[in-house]
Amino acid sequence: MDDARDSIAPDLPRAHGGAVLAADLRSAPEDFFVEELPGFEPSGSGEHLLLTIEKRGMNTAFVARRLAGWAGVEERGIGYAGLKDRHAVTRQRFSVHLPGREDPPLEALAFEGEGGEALKVLESTRHARKLPRGALAGNRFVLRLRGARGDREAVESRLRDIADRGVPNYFGEQRFGRGGGNLHAALAMFGGKRVGREQRSHLLSAARSSLFNRVLAARVAGGNWDSGVEGEAWMLDGSRSVFGPEPWSDALAERLARFDIHPSGPLWGQGEPRSAGEARRIEVEALAAPPGAALMAGLERAGLKQERRALRLRPAGLQWHWSDADELALRFELPPGAYATVVLAELGAIRDVSAHPRD
């Protein structure tokens, strides 16, 4: 089955073989449902109102602005753990700083727009602190793929492989903007173009993510993205902790097999990468082609420090169901910073209708 040009992650090699499925994603917002998994229990008291909100057809920044207007506070008084897409139905937490004030009426927040946009409050309580970025345990996804075309036995075999071995932990294409625009803008910024503080953060992330994806793509092509090589820097599952390199051992093999540790790749910045030997050689070769050197130099000048990211991602609780109308529903959970689209890309040419609407 040939890939469509506008499929998710079209230029990154798959770990499990050629495409076995073609389908459409996000024909409607309900086809992409994502729910934050809370990272903590609310304190029940404090200066911040903690809201769990379900939204349709709105991005996180839009809801944050609406909350600020509703509460009569500046946008900096609004906190959220992660960014969620507009073309989806999502549930996520927001905090609103209301020191010494009564809670504004929640019914005034409910909204239904003519274009199908909707917002409603599911839960509210008080909390002692502003909700910081990354304060979540992960995300739960329920995805519906419409117009599924492919051999069902092959698709289900691929899904079992994904459940057993995981997938390459690529950064999703949304990190880079349409047509890779964020990367072009990052190179312009590194060349001296002035940008705003928030845009600068996005562009630095795009540059780092592109370099990481290069290394991971080389590891996938070499068949060692999930097995490790000599000189590997290992990352603990569910953590940013890194150890090694150290000699291969039965203990490492056992921990790798049960997904307690993962091979890692560089998030570029100042300092020497943690890897050595063969792992370092692969990284150096993968980053050598233009504009790798320019991106690395720009990140170093920006003051970022060397970090690592796991090369392997395992969707938790992966389940699937076929309907009679050639629709495939998937359900799984991912840790923070992981992308549902890279799981789908291992199946084949999954067309994001929201990004590429049909004529």
DSSP letters, 143-157, are EEEEEEES-HHHHHH
Give the active site residue among 24, 85, 226, 352. 85
Count of Cβ atoms closer than 10 Å to residue 45 Cβ: 10
Read off φ and ψ for residue 229, nearest 5 degrees.
Answer: -135, 175
**Alpha-carbon distance values, 281 to 12, 111, 217, 286 (Å):** 20, 54, 14, 9
Read off φ and ψ for residue 112, nearest 5 degrees.
Answer: -135, 120
**Alpha-carbon distance values, 119 to 29, 35, 62, 89, 214 (Å):** 13, 14, 11, 10, 39
318 vs 347: CA distance, rounded Å: 14
Instruction: Report yes or no: 139 and 317 within 8 Å, Cβ to Cβ.
Output: no
Residue 250 is a catalytic residue = no
Count of Cβ atoms closer than 10 Å to residue 2 Cβ: 10
Count of Cβ atoms closer than 10 Å to residue 171 Cβ: 24
Instruction: Report yes or no: 187 and 294 within 8 Å, Cβ to Cβ.
Output: yes
Q: What SS3 class is residue 203?
A: helix
Structure-token pair, residue 357? 């609407």
Residues pairing with 85 in the sheet: none
Half-sphere exposure in the Cβ direction for 296 (13 Å, CA): 21
Half-sphere exposure in the Cβ direction for 347 (13 Å, CA): 30
Nearest CA-CA partner of 158 in 19, 32, 333: 19
**Alpha-carbon distance values, 318 to 35, 215, 276, 332 (Å):** 15, 27, 34, 4
Active site residues: 85
